[in-house]
Amino acid sequence: MKEETCIILDFLRSGYPDRRHAEPIAQALGTEFFTLLEIIPRDDAELAQEEEIYIGKEKRDKVKFIRGSIEYRDLTNMAKNLLPEVIEKIIREKEKKFVDFFNTSRMLTPRMHQIQLLPGIGKKHLLDILEERRKKPFESLTDLGQRIHLVPEPVKILTRRVLQELEGNEKYYLFTAAKRVERA
């Protein structure tokens, strides 16, 4: 589950203020699996918030190396503040992936459906969504919002779910490659 591109959340030219040997570092969000990353830029690279950069296996123009994945609690305040907006942007750009989720989601347990893991979606909304998708698959998130009147803003609901997963306290993960590591 490697990311090919990411969006910069925060760029610290002088590194973290509490580190002795500071080096420039960026915090970023992967665009495919919502992986939170620490990136060491090339010496001559300038990175900007919300800039999308290539981090795949080929030659990287602005990245020296990827230090690794980080957890939500390790993000700077700037990165945390920008995160919902960036998640929403990714969801809108990869809309088909999220529409497919609504069209193909399934039961997790005999009593729990994947759709019920979304904030604000209970049994009634679930039944409405399943009934509508049986009639005709959803074509877009706008289509979903129009056909299911109690779910007017699917992008906001999906954004909240991705944020919950990144915070790391969920039993089930639908959209992220969040690490579930306990630290002492």
CA 116 – CA 123 distance, rounded (Å)? 7
Sign of CA dihedral 136, 138, 143, 147: positive
Q: From residue 172, how far is each of 49, 83, 116 by CA, in Å?
A: 30, 21, 11
Task: Compute the residue count for the chain.
Answer: 184
* Average pLDDT score over residue span 69-95: 97
pLDDT above 80: residue 180:
no
Residue for token pair 């080929």: 58
Cβ atoms within 10 A of the Cβ of 184, count? Answer: 2
CA 109 – CA 113 distance, rounded (Å)? 7
Q: pLDDT tens digit string along 29-77?
A: 999 999 999 999 999 899 999 999 999 999 999 999 999 999 999 999 9
* 181 confidence band (pLDDT: 50, 70, 90): very low
Q: pLDDT tens digit string along 110-128?
A: 999 999 999 999 998 999 9
Res 140: pLDDT: 96
161 token code pair: 């779910």
Strand, coil or helix: what is 108? Answer: strand
Res 100: pLDDT: 97
Res 152: pLDDT: 67
Domains of the chain, earliest start first: 5-76 (2.40.50.140), 94-167 (1.10.150.280)
Are residues 102 and 158 in contact, defined by beta-carbon separation less than 8 angstroms?
no
Strand, coil or helix: what is 139? Answer: coil
Task: Record the pTM.
Answer: 0.92
Res 179: pLDDT: 53
Radius of gyration of the chain (CA): 18
Q: pLDDT tens digit string along 125-164?
A: 999 999 999 999 999 999 999 998 877 699 999 999 999 9
Res 182: pLDDT: 38
CA 6 – CA 41 distance, rounded (Å)? 13
- Nearest one of 50, 29, 11, 5 to 166, comparing CA atoms: 29
Which helix (H) or strand (E) element contains residue 113?
strand 112-113
Res 178: pLDDT: 60
Res 137: pLDDT: 97
